[in-house]
Amino acid sequence: MNAVPVRTRGGWTSLPFDLVRAFRGNSRLPVYEIDKAKVQRKNGRVRPLGTANDEISFGAWRLAHALKKAECAREPSAALLAVGAAGFLLEHIHLFDWRGEELRLAAGMSDYYADFSRTGLAGRVAQGVALLLLEAQGYAYTARLSAEIKRHNGSKIAQGVLQSKAKKSRSTPSRAPDFLLENGRGERALAEAKGAFATPNERCDIKGSLKDALDQLEGWDRVLTPQPRKNFAIGTFLREADDLFEEPSLLAFVDPEPGQPEPPIEIQPDAIRRANYASWLALMGFADVAERLRTRAGEPQRRTVRLLRLGGRSYVVTLASIRPWSPSGRVDEDFWEFIDEWPYWFLEPFAGVCLEVIGLDLDIVHALGGTSGQPAATGLMSLEPQQREFPSEIDGGRFYGSVLSDGSLFGELRMSRHHRLRFDSEEIEL
């Protein structure tokens, strides 16, 4: 892979030029809604699948964006998240084949990885695809259910749910489902994602995967308040590009009705939105802001941020691919001076340079800066999901990437050596 070396305070880093070419792809997945009874009944059959109920369309950057959103909801350290942002695209750049209309794995990729690695990678991809489906259903805000249970002192009730499920199934307790989500109307949903890379010319275990997801969802909606209105068991099954089996790559889901409420774990009204933005701000390098949002403790600070103007809106952005970090975990502001004074001679052998950026809509950042420790901060709860259009051509370069309806941005800026992309700066409370 061709790369250009960049000198930072911490040493030398490479910027891949092939990355943007590999991630310009656009694709789709057919969506099949499966009846819960067919999945749970011992002799129930989910095939023949019939005609797809719907389909979702997305580009490679949008899929990568959803994958990172799913991963950063786990709340690991900001340093690990920063490495992972570019890491997935670089490490697995060869995984997908984007040349057809339908999303496929590249030839040989279904068994390229060892069994454990393949299962884990399929699960990561499935969580990202699940968030794209839920985004299309209007669920813009995402939190990890297990993290919210701990944060809201619900561990004893949660353990009771797990023990009850273990007795019914006579097995070890399962985990809580993956996600707790919310739409713009404040309606909540639970989701569990499963996935597999299909062995060529063989059937995927759609029924088994969806049954496992339903088993994991079982009981949780009854102990959460406000009670989730939807439960989604979602399976993503991807085939290789040259696999001629009769079934395509596909996404299948079950959406059962919620159960009767039981003694609850109360999740505060703004908890999901706090978790959604805290995890993304941690990915951007604002670990202290993320902690304030999660714990409802501390006050906003005045800080200078860099802005990218895109599609008539401004986004607070940080640089992920080559971003240095200080020991405190904060963004190294000196690096912006390096970008501002980018030496033209440095780009002479190349067409330009690519910068991976992670960002958040400036209006949302302002709302988060005013978020108080009260149970439902007015500015935060007044936010509405929005579908944002953006141009690829911007002054001084091109943008390849994704903006989700929660206002988060993820993508790449390509600057030619004949143009200079300038980032505005602004002082804000955050």
* Partners of residue 123 on adjacent β-strands: none
Q: Would you say 104 and 239 are in contact if contact means Cβ atoms under 8 Å apart?
A: yes
Report the alpha-carbon distance of residue 224 to residue 228 in Å, rounded. 7
Task: Residue count of the chain, please give it.
Answer: 430
Residue written as token pair 């978790």: 275
Tens of pLDDT, residues 71-100: 888 766 555 555 555 556 556 667 888 888
* The most confident of 34-43, 111-120, 155-164, by mean pLDDT: 34-43
Q: What is the mean pLDDT of residues 217-234?
A: 94
Exposure string (b/e) for 235-245, b if CB count within 10 Å is 16 or more? bbbbbbbebee
DSSP-derived secondary structure letter, 418? T
In sequence order, which ranges of 267-361 are alpha helices (DSSP H)? Answer: 271-284, 287-295, 334-340
Tens of pLDDT, residues 357-381: 899 999 999 999 887 666 566 778 8
Tens of pLDDT, residues 285-301: 898 999 999 998 888 99
DSSP-derived secondary structure letter, 102? B
Q: What is the mean pLDDT of residues 231-257?
A: 96
Residue 155 has pLDDT above 90, yes or no: no
Report which of 386, 408, 409 is spatially closest to residue 399, judged by C-alpha positions. 409
What is residue 40's predicted lDDT score, i.e. its pLDDT?
Answer: 94
Amino acid at 296: R
Amino acid at 9: R
